[in-house]
Structure 1
Amino acid sequence: MVLLPGDLTHNLAAPAMLALQEAIAGEPDGTVVVDASSLINFDSSALAVLLACRREVLARGKAFAVKNLHGRLRQLAGMYGIEPLLPANA
């Protein structure tokens, strides 16, 4: 399981993505689950990071899922039409 940081805003997106890429690389085959339970302070950049994580995971031939996505962030994903790309379970 890959854990999102507590703060994921525009200024923090690039370093967070680098750390998440390393974590994804260390995940075993199968489904990579990104746990968003610690995510407290975020903006739409969090969605960009989640989509980048998804691309990274799929490029490695693994399945992708998001666990504990904050309701506000899921609502924002729905407004952008990308909610289906962030499945709660694969």
Structure 2
Amino acid sequence: MNDLGDRIEVAGAMTLAAAKALLAEGKTFLARADAVFDLAGVTDVDSSGLAVVFGWQREAKRLGKNIRIANPPHNLRSLADVYGVSELLPF
């Protein structure tokens, strides 16, 4: 992840192998400020990636922060649709 000031750039895979690190890193950003996570650079997503987004969302709520997901990859949106949770996500 890269902090670009106005947004946090997420790149690479959002899969099981990366989920724990992505969740922890996102929580670190949220501890400082509201966050826009820009997923334009994400190359692969599985259900773990969806869980990471929900984890970020829970942490933001716990901290009283706002969160938004920018440029979600098509496969993340598709997974959210399959699981029936699209309306719960901050897209």
TM-score class, shorter-chain normalisation, is 0.7 to 0.9
TM-score normalised over the length of structure 1: 0.83
Q: How far did 1:5 drift?
A: 3.2
**2:18 maps to which residue?**
12
| Structure 1: runs of 5+ lacking an equivalent | none
1: CA distance between counterparts of 2:88 and 2:41? 20
Runs of 4+ in 1 over 6 A off after TM superposition: none
- Count the aligned residue pairs: 85
2: CA distance between counterparts of 1:3 and 1:84? 23
Percent of aligned pairs with the same amino acid:
31
C-alpha change, 1:9 and 1:54, in structure 2 (3 Å) is same
**Is the contact between residue 26 and residue 56 of structure 2 (CA under 8 Å) also seen in structure 1?**
yes
2: CA distance between counterparts of 1:2 and 1:24? 10
**Is the contact between residue 5 and residue 16 of structure 1 (CA under 8 Å) also seen in structure 2?**
no
TM-score normalised over the length of structure 2: 0.82
Q: CA RMSD in A?
A: 1.4
| Structure 2: runs of 5+ lacking an equivalent | 1-6
Bigger strand fraction: 2
